[in-house]
Amino acid sequence: MRVIQKNQLNIGVLIYGCGHHQAAWLMPNSSVNRVGEIEYYQSLAQLAEKGCFDAVFFADSQSFLAQEPNEIPAFWFDPLINLTAISQVTKYVGLVSTISSTFSNPFTASRQLLSLEHITNGRVGWNLVTSMRDEEAWNHSMESLPSHEERYKKADEFAELMHKLFLSWDREEILADRARRQVINPDKICPINHKGEFFNVRGPSTTPKSPQGKPVAMQAGASKQGIQLAAKHAEAVYSVSWNISQAMKYRQKLDEAIKQNGECNRQIKVFPGLVTYVGKTREEALAKKQALDEMLPLETALKQLSYFLQMDCTDWEIDLKVPPLPPLEQFNGPVGRYETILEIIHDTNPTVKELLGFLSAGGGHFTLIGTPEEIVDQMEMWLDKGVADGFNLMPPTLPESLEDFIELVVPEMQKREIFRKQYEGKTLRGHLGLK
C-alpha cells in the first residue's frame, strides 16, 4: 500500500527585541536587559534549531529615532553580523537577513551574503525590501526616500544584479595546481559588466558561488509593485494576512503576477506572519494575551496606529468604536498593513483599545489563541487551502512565547505528520524544498 505524503509546513521565526508585543519589555521576566547581548540571540536561534525550524529571520531598520522613552533599540546589531555570530553555535537552521535595495551597495551586499553562505555551507537567505521611512534616508545622505515607483524600479535592477553576482563564478575554478603553477582558471572567471540605470558593476564577485547554488531570495511587500517584484525575483515571500480571506486574495494576486510574467509553472512559497498565544487550556492562552495587553503603553500604540493609517489617531477615545476609515483605493501609505486593519475592523467591529490589542504584536498578522490542537487546526487548514506553505512566527515575548510554541505546538504538528521531526538536509534551500 502506497503511503500518501502529507504537505509539510515550513516554520521560521522573526526575532525582534524581547518580543513582538509592544508591552513585552514591561513584563517582570522580560529579556529587555539582554537585547544588546549576542549570546541572547544565539540562544534564541538554538531554541529554533531545537524545534527544527527552517530559519531565523531578522528584519532591519536604518534609523533609530529614540524620541520616545519606551522605544526599544531592537536593531542593536546589524542583521548580517548577528547571523554570522549565530552561525557559529548552530548547524542546521537557516539564516535570513533583510537587505534594503534603496540603501545597500549590491556588490558589497552580495559579497557579504556569499561569505556567510560559505561559512554556513549554504544556510542563507535574504529578504529584499525598499525601506519605508524618510528617517532612514536621512542616514544615507538623502533628503527623503525616493518615490515608491522609483524605489521598486531600483529594487528590480538590484535583484537582477545580485543574481548575476551570486553566480558570477564557481568554486571549481580554484584549481590549486602546484605542478602547473595555476591557482585559478581565469578563462572561467569573467566580468559580468552590468550597466543599468542605477548601478554599473564590472564584477565578478570576489567570492564564488555558494554550496546551495545561491542564497534563497525572499521578499516582503503587498503593494502592486511589491507583488510584481516578488513574482519576478523571489523564491519565497513574507506576507501579512489577518484572516484566510486576505491570505487567499494575496495568493491570487501573486499567482496572477507570475502568469503575467509568462512563468505559469513557477512556484513561490508564501509565509504569512503568525502570532501565537498558546496554553494547555484556552483560558491559559487568553490570560497570556490579556496580561500583555493590560501593560500596553496606549500613547505609543496610538502613535503606531497613526503611522499605519497615515492620520493622527492620538486623540481617539479608546473605549469607543473605531471611526470610519477611507477605502483601500484612497489610501497612499503602506497598503498591506492598511488592508489588514480594514479586515480586523470588518471581522471584529472593535473599540479603539481592542484594535490596539490586535495590532500590538506584529501589527495585525494572523493571530491564534488557544491550545496546541486549536492552533494547529488553523495552521493545517491554511496549508490545505493552499494559501500558506508555512508561517513566519512572531512571538509576543522572547524567549517565553518561542518556548511555548516549541514545547506545545511543534509536537502537535509532528503528531499530524505536517512538520519534520529532524533535519534531513543542511541547506536552507533543502529545508524549504526549493531547487
CATH number at residue 55: 3.20.20.30
Find residue 56's DSSP bridge partners: 13, 95
Residues 162, 269 within the same domain: yes
CB 85 within 8 A of CB 37: no
| Residue 424 counted as domain residue | yes
The whole domain housing 350 covers 297-359
User: What domain count does the chain have?
Assistant: 2
313 & 369 share domain: no
Nearest C-alpha neighbor of 112 from the set 182, 49, 173, 165: 165
Query: What does the alpha-carbon distance between residue 133 and residue 279 come to, in Å, rounded to a whole number?
Result: 37
Q: Residue 124 is inside which H or E element, if any? A: strand 124-129
Same domain, 351 and 222: no
Domain shared by 117 and 148, yes or no? yes
Question: Do 344 and 386 reside in the same domain of the chain?
Answer: no
Both 319 and 420 in one domain: the answer is: no
Q: Render 20-89 in DSSP notation, one character per residue.
A: SBTTGGGSTT--GGGTT-HHHHHHHHHHHHHTT-SEEEE---S-----STT---TT-S-HHHHHHHHHTS
Cβ-contact 93, 123 below 8 angstroms: yes
In a shared domain, residues 108 and 63:
yes
The verdict on residue 3 lying in a domain is: no
Same domain for 317 and 237, yes or no, is no
Q: What is the pLDDT of residues 343-354, one digit of tens each?
A: 999 999 999 999
Per-residue pLDDT of the chain (435 residues; tens, 9 = 90+): 445 568 999 999 999 999 999 999 999 999 999 999 999 999 999 999 999 999 999 999 999 988 888 888 889 999 999 999 999 999 999 999 999 999 999 999 999 999 999 999 999 999 999 998 999 999 999 999 999 999 999 999 999 999 999 999 999 999 999 999 999 999 999 999 999 999 999 999 999 999 999 999 999 988 899 999 999 999 999 999 999 999 999 999 999 999 998 887 889 999 999 999 999 999 999 999 999 999 998 888 898 899 899 999 999 999 999 999 999 988 987 777 898 899 999 999 999 999 998 898 878 899 999 999 999 999 999 999 999 999 999 999 999 999 999 999 999 999 999 999 999 999 999 999 998
| Domain co-membership, 249 together with 317 | no
Q: Per the domain annotation, does 305 fall within a domain?
A: yes
pTM for this structure?
0.94
| Domain boundary, last residue among 344, 359, 374 | 359
**Residues 124 and 79 reside in one and the same domain:** yes
The answer as to whether 1 is a domain residue is: no
Instruction: Give the span between the Cα atoms of 9 and 148, in whole angstroms.
Output: 33
Q: Assign 3-state DSSP to the chain and report helix, strand, coil percentages, each to 5.
A: 45, 15, 40
Over residues 56-85, the pLDDT tens digits come to 999 999 999 888 888 888 899 999 999 999
**Does residue 201 belong to any structural domain of this protein?**
yes
Of the residues 311, 328, 359, the one at which a domain ends = 359
287 domain residue, yes or no: no
Answer whether 93's CB lies under 8 Å from 12's CB. Answer: no
Say yes or no: 165 and 273 in one domain. yes
Whether residue 269 contacts residue 387, with contact meaning beta carbons closer than 8 Å, is answered with no
- 185 lies in some domain: yes
User: Does residue 2 form part of some domain?
Assistant: no
Q: 372 and 347, same structural domain?
A: no
Which segments of 207-322 are extended strands (E)? 216-220, 236-239, 269-278
Q: Of the residues 359, 381, 412, which one is the last residue of a structural domain?
A: 359
